[in-house]
């Protein structure tokens, strides 16, 4: 990765992998072909949303409790500030708004490979 300016903008997320640190096991977080976008701003803030490509539409509006749970489990969204680590090709996000957060601030390190920016 070159400069921070190369990271700025909105990106299409091509994959979202989860790794279990203890075992090294890696799985697709929301299926093999998720729909997702992540935006990095010059002000040091970021936001992301990722959903399963096969995310089911509710049959009724408002959705039933079962449908609501299924919809909730088929997406992730978070926002906060970020830093870039060129040596590790990663970003670290200090998330202040995150679904399923166990605290008000969660630090997440994400490996990145830049290949397709939205224009």
What distances in angstroms separate CA 11 from CA 4, 15, 37, 47, one per listed residue? 14, 12, 6, 11
Q: Which two tokens stand for residue 82?
A: 């970020």
Task: Name the more confident of 111 and 18.
Answer: 18
Cα–Cα distance, 3 to 68 (Å, whole number)? 41
Of the candidate ranges 34-43, 65-74, 82-91, the one whose mean pLDDT is the lowest: 82-91
Cα–Cα distance, 90 to 78 (Å, whole number)? 17
Confidence at residue 116, expressed as pLDDT on a 0 to 100 scale: 54
Ordered by start, the domain boundaries in the chain are 4-111
pLDDT in tens, 4-26: 788 899 988 888 888 888 998 99
| Among the listed residues 86, 100, 115, 119, the one whose alpha carbon sits nearest the alpha carbon of residue 13 | 115
pLDDT in tens, 71-105: 988 998 888 888 887 776 666 667 666 665 444 55
Count CB neighbours of 26 within 10 A.
10
Of the candidate ranges 47-51, 60-64, 73-77, 113-117, the one whose mean pLDDT is the lowest: 113-117
Could you tell me what percent of the chain has a pLDDT over 90?
32
Does residue 107 have a pLDDT over 70? no
């Amino acid at each position: 990765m070159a400069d921070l300016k190369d990271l700025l903008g909105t990106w299409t997320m091509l994959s979202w992998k989860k790794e279990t640190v203890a075992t090294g096991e890696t799985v697709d977080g929301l299926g093999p072909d998720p729909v997702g976008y992540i935006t990095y701003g010059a002000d040091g803030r970021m936001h992301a949303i990722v959903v399963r490509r096969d995310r089911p539409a509710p049959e009724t509006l408002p959705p039933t409790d079962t449908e609501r749970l299924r919809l909730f489990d088929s997406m992730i969204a978070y926002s906060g500030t970020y830093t870039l680590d060129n040596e590790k090709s990663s970003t670290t996000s200090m998330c202040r708004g995150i679904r399923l957060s166990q605290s008000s601030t969660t630090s997440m390190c994400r490996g990145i490979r830049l290949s397709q920016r939205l224009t």
